[in-house]
Structures are given as C-alpha cells and as structure tokens.
C-alpha cells in the first residue's frame, strides 16, 4: 500500500500522541510510587502510627496518600475518609468566620472585646483584632497546671464551658499592653468563640456549619466539643501521646481554639480555596494576611521575610519556595499542618495521630512532597 504524504503526517502525529501519553503515564506512575514511598518512609522515620497526606495540584486535582493503621496493633488501614483532630488549625476557621460576621456588620475587628463580653472589664483595651493575631497579652490557659491532667489521663469526660476556661486566664495579669508585643494564647480564640455566640445567638458549631463547612462542601470536617458520636468514632483514627491512647479525651477543653476534626483531603481543599479567593473577598483576604511580628507584635510589610502571624494564619519565608502560608495544630493525641505555597500553586495537608510530633517534622513531611513533585513531576 502506498502511503500519501498527508497520511504519513497523520500517522506520525498519532505516534507522537501515543508516545507522549505513554511517557506521561510512566512519569505519573513514577511520581506516585515516589510519593507513596516517601509517606511510608516519613512515617517510619518519625515513628508515627498513622500518617495522612493530601496534595492539591495546580489543576485542583487532590492526591491522597496514606500509611498506617486505624489504631496501634490494629489491622484496619487508614484511608481518605479517616478523621484526625487538627487542633489549632481550627483558629484559621474561626478567623474566617469572624471576617464573615464583620462583613455583615455584626461585629468590628477594631472594637474592644468588652463591647460584646462586658463582664471582662479589665480587658477593655483589647480588640477583636488583638485576639485574632495574638497581640492581646492575655495569658494562655493551656499553660496553667489546672489542665495538666488532660495530658496525663487516658479518659477525660469533663465538659468545659468557655467562660470556665476564660476565668482561669482572667485571674492572671496581662503579659503586656495590648498591641505592643506578641504571645500565642489559646484563650484568645476561646474568647472569639464566645463573641461569635454572643453576636449570632447560635453556638460556634452551627455558625461554622452555616458559614463554612456546608457552603464550601467540607463534608468530612466537624467541630465537636463533646463526646464523639459512634458514627464519627468509626472513622476517627486513634490518637496517641507517648503511646497512651488519647482518643476519648473530651475536646471541650480546646473549643474554638482547637476542636476541629477533619480528613486530609478536605484540609488541602480548604487551603487552596482560602488562599485563592474562593472563601473570602479580596478585601477580607488582605485583612486575613496582615501579619504582625512574633518578636514585636508590630505590623510587618508584605515584602518582609520575617516570620509573621496574621488572623489565624502564619507566614514563613523559605529560600526555595518563597512565602508559605500555613497553620499547625496539636492536641493531646494528634498533630497536623496545612501549607499553601503560592509560588508552586500547591497546597499540602499533613495529619498524624502522634501528639508529640514537632512542627519541624510536620513541615519536613510537607516539603518533602514538594521536592519529589519538583523532581519527578511534569
């Protein structure tokens, strides 16, 4: 059969398409193998019982990677539906909720907290913004010995009320005048939760569901400040601190400062949506990203490479990646992290059931994913 020039060209194009598709498949297969291997390796390096990592790629595809079991000594592998406590990552959600309420004129970021919670009279110079970015000077209640039993016990079913928690801190003097320094304090976000309840006349859980979890399709994310229901416990990975099972600790002690539960996929999806304008208006996102210095509490310019804390989010500069926006979370039996990397247009979430896992380890796991994608991705 004699092939015309046109037919030959067409077959050549088909050959090229086939060649590149096979090559792409091979590259994808290699990348997947490398990422899966790395998650398993990191779990062993840091002795983590269970590790879930999700990566949101520039095309919005989310890759879920898992290693480990539902509980120590168990036989049920974790999967994309497995839930973890995410601790202080909750603060990002509370900050977003505050911004949404401010847009509805239900509160003002620069109003004193006593406008909404008048019984805390000696804190009349502290604004909602001071609470959000930790420049209030209010003592951190989790540093009090009164809460040590939570870390030392296996079962703690005490149901804490937010005002009970705040009263511990209210008895202490301010660490500094509001706005002149920076000190991380979980009490700030317990107060924000109380303010949310005051201005909406609804619990924090209902507000999170209405303003965030439902509209942004976060179907595997829950705010629970009570004993977990049985349906949730079926998916909740057991959490450990120094090998002690902490799964049954009542999370009312963390409240608006850290009671969120999530799977890794929803967390990575949330990070992308938040930082690409899918959740807040451009004006609200600029507010969220106004960072202050951890050293001085003063507002940092956008071009600064200094570590900064915004409204429920952190910013850190890395030479290889530029600015990374993130937040960490730790509870008695779990530790977590999400990052958003603008220069790579990627989000990564890292959820673990090891309460004592350091921030540096979680960040190392997230960055190792980026390094592998850079090396083997196309």
Q: What is the mean pLDDT of residues 157-168?
A: 92
How do residues 122-133 score in pLDDT, each as one tens digit? 999 999 999 999
- 3-state helix, strand, coil split of the chain in percent (to 5) is 40, 20, 40
Structure tokens at 264: 């890794």
Q: Residue 53 — very low, low, confident or very high, per pLDDT cuts 50/70/90?
A: very high
Alpha helices (runs of H) in the chain, residue ranges in sequence order? 5-45, 90-103, 128-132, 148-152, 162-170, 186-200, 204-208, 230-233, 264-275, 282-288, 359-376
How do residues 297-331 score in pLDDT, each as one tens digit? 999 998 899 999 999 999 999 999 999 999 999 99
pLDDT at 150 over 90: no
Pairwise CA distance, residues 310 & 318, whole Å: 17
Q: So what's the pLDDT on residue 26?
A: 46
Pairwise CA distance, residues 95 & 207, whole Å: 12
Burial 220-244 (b: 16+ CB within 10 A, else e): bbbbbbeebeeeeeebbbbbbbeee
Q: So what's the pLDDT on residue 22?
A: 39
Residue 326 contacts residue 350 (beta carbons within 8 Å):
no
Q: Of 147-151, 255-259, 300-304, which range is least confident?
A: 147-151
Instruction: Label the pairing between strands 292-293 and 308-309.
Output: antiparallel
Q: Provide the Cα torsion 309, 324, 363, 328; round to 10°.
A: 30
Q: So what's the pLDDT on residue 20?
A: 42
Q: Residue 148 — very low, low, confident or very high, per pLDDT cuts 50/70/90?
A: low
The contacts of residue 232 (CB under 8 Å, 6+ apart) are 83, 222, 224, 261
Across the chain, what does the average pLDDT equal? 91
How do residues 192-228 score in pLDDT, each as one tens digit? 999 999 999 999 999 999 999 999 999 999 999 998 9
Q: Residue 243 — very low, low, confident or very high, per pLDDT cuts 50/70/90?
A: confident
For 58-278+329-376, CATH gives: 3.40.710.10
pTM over 0.85: yes
Structure tokens at 162: 């937010």
pLDDT at 13 over 80: no
Q: What is the mean pLDDT of residues 242-259?
A: 93
Q: So what's the pLDDT on residue 276?
A: 97
């Amino acid at each position: 059969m004699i092939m015309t020039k046109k037919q030959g060209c067409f077959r050549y194009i088909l050959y090229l398409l086939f060649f590149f598709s096979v090559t792409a498949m091979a590259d994808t297969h290699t990348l997947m193998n490398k990422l899966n291997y790395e998650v398993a390796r990191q779990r062993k390096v840091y002795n983590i019982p269970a590790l879930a990592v999700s990566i949101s790629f520039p095309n919005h595809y989310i890759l879920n990677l898992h290693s480990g079991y539902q509980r120590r000594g168990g036989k049920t592998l974790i999967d994309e539906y497995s839930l973890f406590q995410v601790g202080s990552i909750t603060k990002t959600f509370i900050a977003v909720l505050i911004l949404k309420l401010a847009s509805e004129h239900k509160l003002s970021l620069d109003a004193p907290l006593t406008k909404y919670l008048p019984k805390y009279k000696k804190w009349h110079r502290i604004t909602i913004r001071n609470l959000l970015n930790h420049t209030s000077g209010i003592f951190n209640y989790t540093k009090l010995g009164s809460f040590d039993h939570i870390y030392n016990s296996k079962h703690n079913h005490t149901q804490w009320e937010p005002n009970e928690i705040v009263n511990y801190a209210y008895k202490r003097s301010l660490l500094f005048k509001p706005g002149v320094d920076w000190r991380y304090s979980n009490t700030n976000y317990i107060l924000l939760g109380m303010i949310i309840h005051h201005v909406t006349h609804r619990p924090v859980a209902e507000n999170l569901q209405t303003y965030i979890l439902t509209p942004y399709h976060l179907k595997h994310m829950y705010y629970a400040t009570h004993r977990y229901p049985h349906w949730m416990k079926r998916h909740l990975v057991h959490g450990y601190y120094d090998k002690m099972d902490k799964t049954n600790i009542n999370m009312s002690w963390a409240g608006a400062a850290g009671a969120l539960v999530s799977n890794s996929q929803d967390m990575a999806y949330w990070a992308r949506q938040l930082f690409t304008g899918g959740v807040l208006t451009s004006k609200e996102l600029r507010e969220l990203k106004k960072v202050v210095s951890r050293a001085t509490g003063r507002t940092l310019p956008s071009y600064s490479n200094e570590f900064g804390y915004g409204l429920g989010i952190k910013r850190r500069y890395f030479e290889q990646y530029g600015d990374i926006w993130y937040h960490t979370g730790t509870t008695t039996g779990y530790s977590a992290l999400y990052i958003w990397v603008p220069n790579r247009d990627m989000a990564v979430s890292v959820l673990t059931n090891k309460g004592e896992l350091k921030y540096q380890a979680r960040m190392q796991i997230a960055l190792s994913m980026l390094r592998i994608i850079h090396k083997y991705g196309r």
